[in-house]
Chains A and B, each alone.
Chain A
Amino acid sequence: MIKVDGLHKYFDDLHVLRGIDLEVQKGEVLSVIGASGSGKSTLLYCVNGIEQIQEGSVYVDDVDVHAKTTDLNKLRQRLGMVFQQWNSFPHLTAMENVALAPQIVRGLTKEEAKDVAIKQLEHVGLGDKFDVFPNALSGGQQQRLAIARALAMDPQYMLFDEATSALDPELVGEVLDTMRVLAEEGMTMICVTHEMGFARDVSDRVAYFHEGIVEEIGPPDQIFAEPESEHTKKFLAKVR
């Protein structure tokens, strides 16, 4: 379970997150929607400890992410993360991209890491691209490679930070399909997204962020069909 409690985050004078309370249960898919700058991505960065927080707490399976004693490198193995920019390692083949972290972080042997890589690349539909370098892959393929790379660490949670925002429109579908498969397999996911269709179809709950707070949260039917907050209504009217 991921549990966020009274979370405040500042970038210098900018108050980005202004008291976030949130719980994500095992197996749940939470989509986070909202305008740019509402703090959605920052939340994810605070959950896996890339960004420091100023107030409140974040717990992942009862581990206090921001406690000084927490081994973040260890914690992050449980939290797979996929970014807007796919950041494939350009000097490694698709296979090596996926196998690197399992080998050096999880301590698997070369053979074991290779097996994991094969499994995950097939999982995201890149079974025919083992020896291809990233620059020979399309954006959609590279983003799926990034998903495979994160999955290879055998994470309990997946955090998606606008995973399709940097993609050409015709490539968005293949990445969303991969995310859909993960959700069906029961992966616990937090998806920061601008894809309202995905948020409606795949999530168990949707959270609408407005200026650093959770303005409204609930099942997709409720958020999309009967939003209570004026801000939510305005936002949804705009993105439709």
Chain B
Amino acid sequence: MEQTVTVFSGFSAQDLLFLGEAALRTLWISLLSIAIGSFLGGIFGWVLYESKNWGGILVNPVLDIFRSVPLIVQLVLFYNFAPIVGLNLDAFESGLVVLTMYTSALVANVARGGIESVGRSMRIASRSLGMSYWQDMRHVVFPIGTRAIFPSWVGVALGVMKDSALVSVLGYVELVKASQVLITRTQEPLLIILVVGAFYFVLSYPVSRYSAKLERRWSQ
């Protein structure tokens, strides 16, 4: 009889630590996929902008797939089909790959919009100063475009962080998976989901505050 008592036990301080660790995993997989995905998305966005014909034909359909198929479906499909083509990825790696591609698909269109936001006359002006294509890109288009799309990009980033919850279906113990474990044990779903929600809030709030601050500084 005594053993069954330990199967269902209440929420303890230890569990908070467990959730904290899970929050770090959420943070880690989100950070990585947002960073790599944004980098790739920037390149895709540039391809979309520069080569309206062939680049669009090649890149657009791929991005459309990642944008329009639900993330949870992508995760399950990729996790199960990757081994067939010889990729033996664990839950974290599979989640990272899918989240990264998903992020890059979202960022690509944002990035293209950013480049487009720098008008032709601005670019002619910098070229007329003798800047090369890449100097213009780096010193004029990139900083101006980045500022223009920053709010949308932050939206994408925060969205990806929340969507990373879906990686739980692969068994990667991030916040949501951890909460499921704890709920099963403690039978206190409301309390635990409340705590998990608070963790997500703690992760995203500083980001949105900091970005609001940056925007204010740039708009001066």
Contact = CB atoms under 8 A, between A and B. Distances in A.
B128 to A, nearest CB: 4
Contacts of A81: 125, 128
A15 to B, nearest CB: 22
Q: Label chain B's interface by main secondary structure.
A: helix
Contact of A91 (B121, B124, B135, B144): B144
Pick from B121, B130, B144 the residue with the most CB of A within 10 Å: B130
A74 interface: yes
B189 interface: no
A146 interface: yes
Task: Give the contact-size bracket for chain A.
Answer: 20 to 34
A83 B121 contact: yes
Given A89-B144, A91-B147, A105 B121 contact: no
Interface string B118-148: 0001101111111110010001100110010
A101 interface: yes
Nearest to B131: A105
B218 to A, nearest CB: 7
B148 to A, nearest CB: 10
B53 interface: no
Given A83-B121, A91-B144, A133 B130 contact: no
B127 A50 contact: yes
B144 A153 contact: no
Given A83-B121, A87-B121, A104-B139, A133 B220 contact: yes
Contacts of A8: none
A101 B129 contact: yes
B31 to A, nearest CB: 26
A149 B140 CA distance: 14
Contacts of B126: 87, 89, 101
Contacts of A90: 144
B130 A101 contact: yes
Interface of B: 121-122, 124-132, 135, 139-140, 143-144, 147, 218, 220
